[in-house]
Amino acid sequence: MIHVTAEKGVTRIEIARPEKKNALTADMYARLAAALAAADRSPQVRALLLHGSRECFTSGNDVSEFLARKAGDRSPAFDLFEVLPGLDKPVVAAVGGPAVGIGTTLLLHCDLVYAAPGARFRLPFVPLGLVPEFGSSLLLPLLAGYQRAAELLLLGRPFTAEEAKEAGIVNAIFPEETLFEEAQRAAAALAALPPESIRLTKRLLKAAGREALGARIAEEARLFAERLGSPEAKEAMSAFLEKRAPDFSRFRTD
């Protein structure tokens, strides 16, 4: 369900579970992290390309696995959290269709992100009684400014490819039929450049925030794990399963 191919210095990593809208399981997280790490170590690889299908990038965590987790459990996404931010080689992402939760937050760690006009993004953590993940509470305000980041993270509403571009999450929007070709072209262009210059420049770009990012990812993960067992999260999850609107009116605000 994580397909890896390599050609002319570019490793292409595909999230491929179309029957479940590319929802990520624990095994898929581990395989995705391993594929990224292996490509980064390989002297034959100069750039990485990450994508789902033209219809869906990823709908986020597999719901059945997610609901089975207990408060305090280590998130299966942690494998990805530990690998993606530290990659030396450039990562290009191509987004078609929904990119929900981790499907959006992982994009904040990619170097170039392209989307189709029909791509839809969402950060639904607060509506689920949770908190942001993967450093998004730090990176999104830096990209989009506080007010826009607050709107996307606090309301957790879906937003369009054009809004994602305005927020700095997406570099460019291409027609659905040419999206993967444009992303492949960008990855190939990166692969043709001096690899040490690429590595050093990426390191310089990320150097200032590296320590703060690691601390924020850890703090988000701690709070996220705590929130999984909270009454608010239980109400949100129950409402999701029962296909009803959640009712948070009985919960205190202090």
Q: What is the pLDDT of residues 45-84, one digit of tens each?
A: 999 999 999 999 999 988 777 667 666 667 788 999 999 9
Quick one: average pLDDT of 39-50? 98
Q: pLDDT tier at 144 (50, 70, 90 boundaries)?
A: very high
- Express each pLDDT in 184-220 by its tens digit: 999 999 999 999 999 999 999 999 889 999 999 999 9
Report the candidate in 36, 20, 4, 48 with the shortest Cα–Cα distance to residue 187.
Answer: 48
pLDDT digits (tens, 9 = 90+) for 89-108: 999 999 999 999 999 999 99
**How far lies 176's CA from each of 117, 158, 173, 188, 196, in Å?**
7, 19, 9, 19, 33
Residue-level pLDDT at 72: 61
What is the structure's pLDDT at 90?
98
Residue 62: its pLDDT value, please? 85
Residues 2 and 15 sit within 8 Å (Cβ to Cβ):
yes
- CA 100 → CA 39, 58, 174, distances in Å? 25, 6, 20
Asked whether the predicted pLDDT for residue 24 surpasses 90, the reply is: yes
Q: Report the candidate in 47, 43, 27 with the shortest Cα–Cα distance to residue 94.
A: 47
Give residue 163's pLDDT: 98
Strands in 31-144 per DSSP E: 47-51, 91-95, 98-100, 112-115, 120-122
**Residue 252 in this model has a pLDDT that exceeds 80:** no
Residues β-bridged to residue 4: 13
Residue 70 pLDDT: 64
Structure tokens at 70: 């207990």
- The predicted structure's pLDDT at residue 237: 84
pLDDT band at 121 (very low <50, low <70, confident <90, very high): very high
In the chain the domains, ranked by start, together with CATH numbers, are: 1-176+195-254 (3.90.226.10)
